[in-house]
Amino acid sequence: MSAGLFVVFEGGDGVGKTTQLKRLSDALQSAGREVVVTREPGGTALGHQLRQLILHGDHVAPRAEALLYAADRAHHIETLVRPALARGAVVLQDRYIDSSIVYQGGARGLGDQVERISRWATGDLLPDVTIVLDMEPDPSRMARDLDRVEGETSRQADKIRRGFLMLAQRDPARYAVVDAARPEGEVFHDVFSAVRDAIRRAREAGASQGAPTSPTPPSPVTP
């Protein structure tokens, strides 16, 4: 077990992940934690280039696209996320393996292999908690001029939403499903309490395994 905490945000496009990540980062930093905010695709110099290719480049064959996400992930986890966790940081990450399962495996129809490839790519590193920001897809968003991937996937927004909810049901202890269709402060209240629970669980697990105790968790911050 690492000393840090790995928190992932998932959900459909436009559910407010970036806003919640920022608020959570500010709250944890004020409580004295080192926080690393990152995202997939992206997060490293290589990831930034892959992001440009996947999201803003020409058509990419679905299997190639799945492998590019996995390549980004492999590099990101090994060079940025694992070192941050090892030194005790809280990593707040926008999207991870579940996005590939839902978008490439489900929406693009590539199936179960997608999860296997990502698990191999990351050496099976799983988040301490995955926060699924859930809301009904916004129809006006689908009409807007979106980037290439979003344009294709927005038509499948319902399927994507159900995909994340199914993953959360599969392993409820590691997930928090948060209703994101509410005012930002209310959403953050639930996000913060899910992270506080995860910090507590990680400390208890660390103590029972005799692992070094992680740095002091944040004192309760009123969201």
Interacting residues with ligand TYD (CB under 6 A): 13-14, 17, 40-41, 55, 69, 94-95, 99-100, 103-104, 149-150, 153
Other CB atoms closer than 10 Å to residue 123's CB: what's the count? 10
Q: Which is nearer to ligand TYD, 143 or 208 (CB)?
A: 143
Taking the complex as a whole, the smallest distance from the CB of residue 171 to ligand TYD amounts, in Å, to 18
- How far is residue 148 CA from its own chain's centroid? 21
Q: What is the distance between the alpha carbons of residues 214 and 200, in angstroms, rounded to a whole number?
A: 10
Residue 11 near residue 21, CB atoms below 8 Å = no
CB-closest chain residue to ligand TYD: 103
Measured over the CA atoms of residue 113, residue 67, residue 35 and residue 13, the dihedral's sign is negative
Taking the complex as a whole, the smallest distance from the CB of residue 216 to ligand TYD amounts, in Å, to 31
The residue type found at 112 is D
Q: Which is nearer to ligand TYD, 21 or 28 (CB)?
A: 21
Q: Which is nearer to ligand TYD, 38 or 100 (CB)?
A: 100
Taking the complex as a whole, the smallest distance from the CB of residue 21 to ligand TYD amounts, in Å, to 10
Q: Is 168 left (phi over 0), alpha (psi -120 to 50) or beta?
A: alpha
Q: Which is nearer to ligand TYD, 4 or 106 (CB)?
A: 106
Taking the complex as a whole, the smallest distance from the CB of residue 100 to ligand TYD amounts, in Å, to 4
Please identify which residue in the block is written with the tokens 């689908």: 142
Residue 142 near residue 155, CB atoms below 8 Å = yes
Please identify which residue in the block is written with the tokens 């994101």: 180
Taking the complex as a whole, the smallest distance from the CB of residue 61 to ligand TYD amounts, in Å, to 14
Please identify which residue in the block is written with the tokens 């070094």: 212
Q: Which is nearer to ligand TYD, 14 or 218 (CB)?
A: 14
Q: Which is nearer to ligand TYD, 46 or 211 (CB)?
A: 46
CA torsion angle 140 146 148 153 (round to 10): -20
Taking the complex as a whole, the smallest distance from the CB of residue 3 to ligand TYD amounts, in Å, to 26
